[in-house]
C-alpha cells in the first residue's frame, strides 16, 4: 500500500458513516415542502438542520424570514457571511 492509498482505518471510518449519511439523504429527498405550505417548509428547515448540527462546528439556526422558515448554517465561528439555505 502506498501513501496515496486509503488504509483500512480510513475505509472503515467511511463505512461507518455511510448508512447514517444515506438515511439523511433519504429523509431530505422524501420530504415534501411546497412553498405555499408554511408548516411543511418549517419541517423541511428542521430536517435540513439536523445533519448540519452533526457536521458543522456551529449548530444551524432555524430562521423565519417573511413567513418562510430557513436553516442558517455557518461553516465556523468566524464565517464572514452566513448563508441561508431556503427549505423548499
For residue 87 the three cell numbers come to 427549505
pLDDT higher at 86 or 11? 11
Bridge partner residues of 69 (DSSP) = 64
Residue 31 is given by DSSP the state -
User: Which residue in the block uniquely carries the three cell numbers 417573511?
Assistant: 66
Over residues 31-43, the mean pLDDT reads 86
Q: What is the mean pLDDT of residues 21-30?
A: 89
Q: Could you tell me the pLDDT band of residue 26, with boundaries at 50, 70 and 90?
A: very high
Amino acid at each position: 500500500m502506498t501513501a496515496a492509498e486509503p488504509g483500512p482505518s480510513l475505509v472503515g471510518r467511511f463505512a461507518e458513516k455511510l448508512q447514517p449519511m444515506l438515511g439523511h439523504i433519504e429523509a431530505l429527498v422524501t420530504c415534501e415542502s411546497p412553498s405555499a405550505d408554511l408548516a411543511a417548509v418549517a419541517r423541511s428547515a428542521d430536517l435540513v438542520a439536523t445533519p448540519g448540527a452533526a457536521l458543522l462546528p456551529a449548530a444551524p439556526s432555524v430562521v423565519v424570514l417573511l413567513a418562510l422558515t430557513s436553516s442558517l448554517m455557518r461553516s465556523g465561528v468566524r464565517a464572514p457571511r452566513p448563508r441561508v439555505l431556503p427549505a423548499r
